[in-house]
Amino acid sequence: MSATLESLAQRFRRCPVTGLQVNRDSELLIQANAVVAVVAMLVGALAAIGLVLTRWQAVHLLPADQYYRYLTAHGLNMLIFWVIFFEMAVLYFAGPVVLGCRQPAPTLAWGAFALMVVGAGMVDWMVFTGNADVLFTSYPPLRAHPNYYLGVILFAVGALIAVSLFFASLVVAKKEKTYSGSVPLVTFGATTAAIIAVITLLHGAAVYIPTWLWSMDIGNIDPEVYRMVWWGLGHSSQQINVAAMVSVWYLLGGLTVGGVVLNEKVSRMAFVLYVLFISMASAHHLLVDPGMGSAWKIWNTSYAMYLAVLASMVHGFTVPAGIETGQRLRGYTNGLFEWLRKAPWSDPGFSGMWLSLVIFGFMGGITGVTLGTEQINIMAHNTLRVPGHFHTTVVGGTTLAFMAVTYYVLPLIFRKRVAFWGMARLQPFVFGGGIVAMALGMIFMGILGMPRRHWDSSFAGSPFPVELPPASELVQVLFGVGGLLAAVGALMFIAIAVVTVFFGKPVTEEAIKAGASGIPQGVLKLPAQVHTGEVAERQHREGVKGTVVLVAIFFVCFIVYYFTNWKMLSFLWKVG
Amino acid sequence: MSERKPAGSNEEKVPLGQKLLDQPFLLLVAGIVVMLAFYTLWGLAEILSLRPAPLP
């Protein structure tokens, strides 16, 4: 009996900062997935530099074949490998660690990790050896080497096993009574991400297994069916990001400033709206496809998608409102925005999270809803506006949020002090600023008519003349400089993460007491996580005036951008 | 980070909505069914019901 207890005790440690019971198996899985995620980001970021310097026509660096190869590698490493490896780390944290239970089937979990690594390695090998110049979407009749599709399938199977183990951890924790009542909101958000991951991976299996067979001359592929099913994977995979990112916002709000969840019911219902409706937004990739009818398009991209947009707007209000409440409870009560001015901006966990929230909401949300409108989509489809939009959601939103939480994962899970602390404090601003400039450049280039996925922005040698306004050259500079700045920000993050993991100084209780460099302020002194008493009651009654003003500004921006697009549409289709 | 509960909340009746949200597998099935019904199967039906275009 005592040997069993001793063995159990050795598998767990109590985090001195958060008080969480952390099991060693999950901790190692989090570390391994996070490290591979950063490696994938390095590959994707290096490819991004080549792409930026090619689409910036004044430089036009790469030849055509290399451009499409790098574009394929960039899409896969950033949109799939970086984010999904990191999301697996989030699931191992939000399940067994937050719930304080053991890791279910640790050997199987390592098997899943190995499958994902082998699959990702096969895909990158095929791409960089020129056997898969098919871009991220690999639309038929473009055909890659069979091992490319096999690599994707192995990666997806590994991810599906890891997601299943997250659900298993929910069962284990409930059965072994490691928590009471409902799971914490962070775990509920991760459950949402896991459900969307299952939807995504089912569509992935449905599309990649027949395509793998087709690549070996077995069977046939209908391009329209492929497009429809593939986007059930391609877009839904980015909705896993959204749910995981929102969970990270709530987590960091609590860790950095003692952010309050204003209303658990409202936040959880918003996550349920994601579960039910967000994946259907995949249809907006098919808005100009002739095979689908208007009813299908309008239901999936308007009525249903707007329910998911409503969920994002709920989180877009409750997260900053919770932060405002937390800050006001810490004494920053003057005026509308003292809570924001005196927020811990030198903590990259806070600054990255806040920038992620603003970039995702103001740029990603507004441009996304506009692009998802069937009539407006006809102007924007296949132009640079589309990647301009998703670089503000997936990169400015998700990636920046994941970078921000890494500054807390390093001291709390790796138990290392963040290296190059001065650079780390600057990094979210460099990366976020670069992404904003680059995405604005892409959006304006798209509005001026510049297509996406095109090697030569000057259309030299085109069989018919293509003239773009001279202003497009100016916004190319904005795009190029912004893209390079974002790449510098990404490389700063990678350098910080790698040096911290392999050479970082350990986080000790003495270092925390001494306020040592490289430890975020939320770890040095965790803000109060539970607020009770008269002060808390009064604050709830007084409300969140600052956030209400921010939300009003958001709606004004939304209305102006949305109606500007309808005005532009009226120039295309003159009525009367 | 958690909602405040009044004293004696352990004996409080759990609302039906909360009971439903505490069932991750129910949410999983609901998410899959809605997506499959409205996006995937309806989309497949649209494509498969297209008549071949006459060649010029």
Burial bucket for residue A557 (CB in 10 Å: 0-12, 13-18, 19+): middle
pLDDT at site A391: 97
DSSP A110-156: HHHHHHHHHHHHHHHHHHHTTS--STTT--TT----HHHHHHHHHHH
Q: Please report whether residue B33 resides in a domain.
A: yes
Q: Please report whether residue B4 resides in a domain.
A: no
Contact between B46 and A292 using a beta-carbon 8 Å cutoff: yes
Residue A502 and residue A520: Cα distance in Å, rounded? Answer: 19
User: In the numeric block, which tokens belong to residue A439?
Assistant: 């995405």
Contact between A280 and B22 using a beta-carbon 8 Å cutoff: no
How many structural domains are present in chain A? 1
ipTM attached to this prediction: 0.92
| Residue of chain B whose alpha carbon sits nearest to that of A253 | B1
Q: Please report whether residue B32 resides in a domain.
A: yes
User: In the numeric block, which tokens belong to residue A470?
Assistant: 């001279």
Q: Please report whether residue A334 resides in a domain.
A: yes
How many structural domains are present in chain B? 1
- Name A272's Cβ contacts closer than 8 Å, sequence gap at least 6: A192, B21, B27
pLDDT at site A575: 64
pLDDT in tens, chain A (576 residues): 566 667 767 788 988 888 898 999 999 999 999 999 999 999 999 999 999 999 999 999 999 999 999 999 999 999 999 999 999 999 999 999 999 999 999 999 999 999 999 999 999 999 999 999 999 999 999 999 999 999 999 999 999 999 999 999 999 999 999 999 999 999 999 999 999 999 999 999 999 999 999 999 999 999 999 999 999 999 999 999 999 999 999 999 999 999 999 999 999 999 999 999 999 999 999 999 988 999 999 999 887 778 899 999 999 999 999 999 999 999 999 999 999 999 999 999 999 999 999 999 999 999 999 999 989 999 999 999 999 999 999 999 999 999 999 999 999 999 999 999 999 999 999 999 999 999 999 999 999 999 999 998 888 888 888 888 889 999 999 999 999 999 999 999 999 999 999 999 999 999 999 999 999 999 999 998 888 888 888 888 889 999 999 999 999 999 999 999 999 999 887 665
Q: Please report whether residue A16 resides in a domain.
A: no
**Residues of chain A found within 8 Å of residue B28, distances taken between Cβ atoms:** 167, 195, 198
Contact between A279 and B2 using a beta-carbon 8 Å cutoff: no
Q: Please report whether residue B56 resides in a domain.
A: no
Answer whether A383's CB lies under 8 Å from A450's CB: yes
Q: Please report whether residue B42 resides in a domain.
A: yes
Contact between A280 and B47 using a beta-carbon 8 Å cutoff: no
Q: How far is A259 from chain B (nearest CA, A)?
A: 7
pLDDT at site A511: 94
Contact between A279 and B35 using a beta-carbon 8 Å cutoff: yes
**Residues of chain B found within 8 Å of residue A259, distances taken between Cβ atoms:** 1
Total-model pTM:
0.94
CA angle A45/A51/A57 to nearest 5° reads: 145
Residue ranges making up the domain that contains A493:
28-456+468-572
Answer whether A117's CB lies under 8 Å from A36's CB: yes
Query: CB of A188 within 8 Å of any CB in chain B?
Result: yes
Residue of A443, A451, A433 whose CA lies nearest to A395: A433
pLDDT at site A4: 67
User: In the numeric block, which tokens belong to residue A1?
Assistant: 């009996």
Closest CB from A170, A184, A195 relative to B31: A195
Contact between B32 and A199 using a beta-carbon 8 Å cutoff: yes
CATH number at residue A533: 1.20.210.10
Q: Please report whether residue A439 resides in a domain.
A: yes
pLDDT at site B5: 47
- Looking only at the bridges linking them, the beta strands covering A21-23 and A12-14 are antiparallel
Bridge partners (DSSP) listed for residue A87? none
> Mapping DSSP to helix (H, G, I), strand (E, B) and coil, where does residue A100 land?
coil
pLDDT at site A462: 84
CA angle A343/A348/A350 to nearest 5° reads: 40
Determine the residue among A192, A201, A228, A294 to mutate to test chain B binding: the one whose Cβ has the most chain B Cβ atoms within 10 Å. A228
Residue B52: pLDDT band (50, 70, 90) is: confident
User: In the numeric block, which tokens belong to residue A476?
Assistant: 């190319």
Q: Please report whether residue B14 resides in a domain.
A: no
Residue of A528, A111, A165, A524 whose CA lies nearest to A346: A524
For residue A172, give the amino acid letter: V
pLDDT, tens only, B6-36: 444 455 788 999 999 999 999 999 999 999 9
Q: Please report whether residue B41 resides in a domain.
A: yes
Q: Which residue has the tokens 């008493």?
A: A533
For residue A503, give the amino acid letter: F
Answer whether A254's CB lies under 8 Å from A327's CB: no
Q: Please report whether residue B29 resides in a domain.
A: yes
Residue ranges making up the domain that contains B30:
21-49
pLDDT at site B7: 45
pLDDT at site B4: 43
How far CA A561 is from CA of A46, A356, A370, A440, A567, in Å, comes to 33, 20, 8, 13, 10
Bridge partners (DSSP) listed for residue A383? A451
Residue of A325, A159, A312, A167 whose CA lies nearest to A254: A325
Residue A25 and residue A107: Cα distance in Å, rounded? Answer: 9
Chain A from 283 to 322: CB within 8 A of any B CB: 283, 286, 291-293, 296, 299-300, 304
Chain A from 225 to 264: CB within 8 A of any B CB: 225, 228-229, 232, 236, 250, 254, 259-261, 263-264
